[in-house]
Amino acid sequence: MAQDTQQAELSRHILELKRKHGAVILVHLYQRPEIQDLGDFVGDSLGLSRQAAASDAGVIVFCGVHFMAESAAILSPDKIVLLPELRAGCPMADMVTAEDLIAKKRELPGVPVVCYVNSSAAVKAESDICCTSRNAVQVVDSVPGDTVLFVPDRNLANYIGTKTNKKVIAWDGFCATHDNITAAEVLRARREHPDALVMVHPECRPEVVALADHVLSTSGMLRLARGSAAREFIVGTEQGILHQLTRQNPEKVFHLPNSKKQYCPNMKKTTLPKLAWALERLEPRITVPEPVRVRAATALERMLAISGKRAGND
Ligand code: 13P
Ligand code: SF4
C-alpha cells in the first residue's frame, strides 16, 4: 500500500513536470505498467516513429530503448529528446555496426539495404530505407531489384522472405527475448489452451512463426485481440504487452509460452524515479551528429512515406 502511494505521488509529480515543460511522453508496449500508464501515446515502433515525427511538443520523453529515442532525435532535430535511462540499449541493434555494413555493401554492389528500425543512427545512415516489424514486407517490396540485404534481424529477414518474391539476404542478428521462445513451448501452450489463437512477433524463430495463427507487430497484436471473437490468446512476444492486452480486453485471457524468458531487461530499465529525474533536469538528451542524422533521416522518411505518416497506431 505504501508503495502504491509512493508510485501515485511520483506519477503526479511526473505529470506536473510534463505540463511545465510542454513535454510529450512516448512509451513502447514493453515498458513497465506504471510507465505505460503515463504515456501520451503507447505503441509499437512504427506508431512511436510517427508520433515523434508529428509531435509539436518541444520535449519528447522516450520510454523505450536507445534506438527508439535516436529515431525521434533524427526525425525531430529541433526538439529535446530525453531517454530516462541511457543504458537502455537493444542488444540486437548492436549486432550490426556501420563499419561491418559498409564492408558487406562492398561485397554486394547495387543490392539495396533495408534496415530494421532496431539499429543505430550510423547503420540507418548506411541503409537505403528503414522498416519496422509492421511494415517490413511492404518496405522490402517497395525497393527496386530482386534482392535486398536485410539487417540486423535474421528471424524477421526469414519471415519477410516467406512473404515476398525477392531474395532476402539476412544479417546474423537476433533478439534473445524472442529467439529464446521455442516451438516446444508454443506447442505445450497450445495443448494447454486448445481454443486460444497463437499470435507471435516476427522476431521469433522460423519454427515458432510456422506454428502461429498470426504473425504481428506489437500493435498488430492489440488490434487482433480487440477485433477477434476469440477469448484466449497465446502471446509470443515480450510480456509488457499484457498490460494493454488485459486492460483493453478484460474479459479475455492471455497466455505466455514461457513468461521467464519473455522479458526484455533493457525495456524494464525505465522506472518512475528515472522518468522523474529526466523531466526535472531535461537530461539525458539524445542527439545525433548532423551528417549522420541527415542520411539516417532519409532512410526513416522513406519508410514513413511508404507506410503513411499519420500519427497513431493504425
Ligand atoms: P514492434 O515494432 O512490434 O513494437 O517491435 C519492437 C521491438 O523491439 C520488438 O522486440
Ligand atoms: Fe531489442 Fe529484443 Fe528488447 Fe526489442 S525485445 S528492444 S528487439 S532486445
Q: Residue 10: give its domain's CATH number.
A: 3.40.50.10800
Strand order of the β-sheet with 253-255 is 214-215, 197-200, 232-236, 253-255
Q: Are residues 185 and 130 in the same domain?
A: no
Give the Cα separation of 86 and 8 in Å (integer).
24
For ligand 1, mutation pick of 118, 235, 267 (most atoms within 8 Å of CB): 118
Strand, helix or coil for residue 82: strand
Q: The C-alpha cell of 260 is what?
A: 521467464
Q: Are residues 156 and 302 in the same domain?
A: yes
Q: 124-155 pLDDT, tens per residue?
A: 999 999 999 999 999 999 999 999 999 999 99
Ligand nearest to the CA of 88: 2
Q: In terms of residue numbers, what domain contains 246?
A: 181-255
The answer to whether position 312 is within a domain reads no
Give the Cα separation of 151 and 93 in Å (integer).
9
Q: Are residues 158 and 300 in the same domain?
A: yes
Atom 5 in ligand 2: which residue has the minimum CA distance? 264
Q: Are residues 97 and 170 in the same domain?
A: yes
Quickly count: other Cβ atoms within 10 Å of residue 228's Cβ: 15
Across the chain, mean pLDDT equals 96
Closest CA to 124 of 177, 237, 209, 45: 45
Ligand 1 neighbour 126 (Cβ under 6 A): no
pLDDT higher than 60, residue 312: no
Q: Are residues 64 and 108 in the same domain?
A: no
**Is the alpha carbon torsion for 207, 133, 101, 286 positive or negative?**
negative
Phi, psi of 138 (to 5 degrees): -60, -40
Give the model's pLDDT for residue 309. 61
**Ligand 1 centroid from CA 242, angstroms:** 14
The answer to whether position 116 is within a domain reads yes
For ligand 1, mutation pick of 27, 30, 307 (most atoms within 8 Å of CB): 30
The answer to whether position 260 is within a domain reads no
pLDDT higher than 70, residue 311: no
pLDDT higher than 90, residue 313: no
More confident residue, 76 or 313: 76
**Could you tell me what percent of the chain has a pLDDT over 70?**
98
For ligand 2, mutation pick of 46, 85, 92 (most atoms within 8 Å of CB): 92
How far is C-alpha 67 from the geometric centre of its chain's CA atoms?
9
The answer to whether position 262 is within a domain reads no
Sequence-separated (6 or more) residues with CB below 8 Å from residue 18: 24, 25, 61, 279
Total domains in the chain come to: 3
Atom of ligand 2 nearest to the CA of 238: 5
